[in-house]
Each structure stands twice: as structure tokens, then as C-alpha cells.
Amino acid sequence: MKESILKKYTEGISLEEGYKRIREGFAFVDGSVFGMYKVAGSGAADALDKLAARDIAFLNIETVCEALVLDEDARALGVPYFCRLDEDFIVLTPPGCEKAGAWISEKCAEEGLEVTDLTEEKSLLFIEGPCAYKPVREVLGVDVDLLPIRGITQVEDWNGFALTVMRIGRSNEYAYAIVADGEAVLKAVEDCGAYAADNGIEAGFADEEAMQVCMIETNQPNFRMLDTENSTVFELGLSWFTQFEKEDYIGHDKLKELFAGEKAFGAVAFKGLDAKNAEIGAKLLLEGEEIGCVTEACYDPKLETVIGMAKIRQDLAVAGIELTLKDAAGESQVETVAQPFVRPLSWDQQIS
């Protein structure tokens, strides 16, 4: 993978700065941490449909679907974005989902499809935040009112560049992904940043640490943390990325077997009472008895405490239980809670 053209912009940004931009204005997020593949050919839809736990074959042109990809033993490989252009697809694999990207490339190649790694020729930029739609509309010329969630539009000529704009992101705020030549992405950053300065909008870059917080706040899985080798889809809270009525995809039979079987553990969110940090894999105790472990965790600058996800004994995987967290730092107290931890502004704010 080539070095990101945006790397210099993301150096030295504090967690608090990046988080505030995502949650209050808009942030540029470097997409170079994503895998980006083009799957071309008349059989692309059918081939990808066999790999995804949601319907891909019937996906409308210029729409996107997030779907869980499993191996034969129903281990989660990742949750890519399947972006349908026409017969061809762009598949975006978030950080930590490299296994899914390799799996898709291998299986599609076996079907005789052309799979191209786009990271060598295109760049990926995300613009996320409650004000993100403003520069996308005013600067990039996208009719945001007509672009639905998980929709795709093509801007044929923006200052001499072609842009593919998708309404997708990971923060649960308004979010747009731009696939274009590197020069176009740099100009988009420059012009959208100038627009923000002229209009008094909190804007700038945010790094993956800030995005990680926003993801955990709103139950978006971070595969850089998840131990998918030793935990099931259900223990990691990933089942909502599947369609259980769909049957013909790799891993379906094993997943159905796991669903029907007795579940020892369930997934639940937690936040610190006096804990400020938590190690991945840290033990969770109830009255001295070990009942589970931490699967995802980060410090949340808004809540000023640690937040995360855990797999704990199935009968205790509910909100409102105080637990002891035990890791290398010692013991501290956490509480299981309902999600979201923070309600994104975009949920209650219409595009104006």
C-alpha cells in the first residue's frame, strides 16, 4: 500500500480536537487505512453474494451495503462496504478487516473475476460530522438532499476531476466518502477547509483514535480490537450485520448452528465508574467470580471515562450491573449500560 497523501495533516492532532470536529462540526478522516478493491465482471454480484451475510445480488445500482463476511466456521473476517456501481463493485474494507479483503480477492479470482487493488491509483477521504453535508453540497456540488444514506453519486467534472461520492461513514454523524485521484482529494481538503473557515464551522482532520471513540459510542465494531478467532459473532455483538433469512453464503450453516445452540456468553456495553482505561481481554468479575472479559475499549473525552464492549455470561449480559474490571493496572469499577453512549447530533438534525 502506498503512503497516504494525507499523512502530514493527521500528525499531532489530539484526541479531543479530532473528536470535537467529528461530533460538532466536520472532520476529514484519512481513508488510506482502508482496503479498496474493484471487482469487475458480469458475475461480480453473484460472486460477492456468496461471501456476504446480506443480499448483494439484488443491491440496486449506486447503493452500498455493509455486510458481515465469514469463513466456513462462521468466524467474522470483517464488515466491508459493498458499493455497487453497475456490474462492477468497489469493496471497501475498514482497518482490521484485512482478512475480509484477502478472502474476497481470493474467492472472486477463483470465479474468474477481475479484482484490482485501487489503493495504488485512487485515494479515499471521509468527511464526517453534523455539518459534513454543507461542504459536500456547497464545495463539491453534490445534491445532498437527493443522496440517500448508503447512496452513491458520480461527479463527472469537479475542477477537472471525477469524484465518486458515497454517503457512508463510521461515526453515525452525517458522513461522505470520496474516491478520487490524490490531487482531487487534496484540493477537496483545501477548498472544504476554506469553506469551514469562512463560515465559522469547527473543522479539520481527525485521526483513527478519535474515530475509534465515535465508533464504540454508537456500536460500530472495531476489528482492530476484536478477537474473532476465539469469540463468536453473537459474543461480539455482530449479528445485526446479517440477514438470517438469507441462506446461500459461506459460513451460513455454522452460523445457524451457533444461533440455535446454547450461548454461554452475550455482548454488552460498559462504562467506567472509577475506571479510566481498560485492556482488551481484561477480566470482568461479579462478587469475585470471573464472568467475562473486555472485547473493545477506549477513553471517551466527552464522558471522561472508559467505554467499551464486553462478552459476559449470557444471563448477565444486560444493562445496570456493576462489575469489577481487573487488568495489569489493578482493579476498578465499571457498569454495564445501554447504547448509544453518546447520541450523535445528526440523528436529530435534518439537512437544511
- Tally of domains in the chain: 2
Question: Do both 74 and 173 map to the same domain?
Answer: yes
In this prediction, residue 161 has a pLDDT band, given cuts at 50, 70 and 90, of: very high
CATH code of 326's domain:
2.40.30.110
Tell which residue, 144, 176, 138, has the closest CA to residue 158. 138
pLDDT digit string, tens, across residues 307-343: 999 999 999 999 999 999 999 999 999 999 999 999 9
Question: Is 224 in the same domain as 208?
Answer: no
The pLDDT of residue 29 = 97
Q: What is the pLDDT of residue 234?
A: 96
- Please report the pLDDT score of residue 14 as a whole number: 95
pLDDT, tens digit (0-9, with 9 covering 90-100), for 130-157: 999 999 999 999 999 999 999 999 999 9
Final residue of a structural domain among 212, 236, 267: 212
Asked whether residue 68 falls in the same domain as residue 136, the answer is yes
199, 93: one domain: yes
Residues 42 and 80 in one domain: yes
Mark whether 61 and 179 lie in a shared domain.
yes
CATH number at residue 30: 3.30.1360.120
Q: What is the mean pLDDT of the chain?
A: 96
Q: Which element (helix H / strand E) includes 154? A: strand 152-158
Q: What pLDDT does residue 123 have? A: 96
Give residue 278's domain range.
219-337
278 shares its domain with 309: yes
Q: Residues 44-98: pLDDT tens digits?
A: 999 999 999 999 999 999 999 999 999 999 999 999 999 999 989 999 999 999 9
- Check residue 1 and give its pLDDT: 55
Is the same domain home to 310 and 165? no
Q: Are 186 and 284 in a shared domain?
A: no
Report the pLDDT value the prediction gives residue 10, as an integer from 0 to 100: 82
Tell me: the pLDDT tens digits for 162-195? 999 999 999 999 999 999 999 999 999 999 999 9
Assess if residue 347 is contained within a domain. no
345 within some domain: no
Domain co-membership, 155 together with 51: yes
> How many residues are recorded in the chain?
352
SS3 283: strand
Buried-state track 107-138, b at ≥16 Cβ within 10 A, e below 16: bbeeeebebbebbeebbbbbbbbbbbbbbbbe
**Domain-terminating residue out of 212, 239, 269:** 212
pLDDT tens by residue, 237-292: 999 999 989 999 999 999 999 999 999 999 999 999 998 999 999 999 999 999 99
- As a whole number of angstroms, the distance between CA 250 and CA 81 comes to 17
* Residue that terminates a domain, selected from 187, 212, 237: 212
Same domain? 247 vs 179: no
Q: What is the pTM of this model?
A: 0.96
Q: How far apart, in whole angstroms, are the C-alpha atoms of residue 54 and residue 251?
A: 12
Q: Does residue 1 lie within any of the structural domains?
A: no
Looking at the fold, whether 181 and 225 belong to one and the same domain comes out as: no
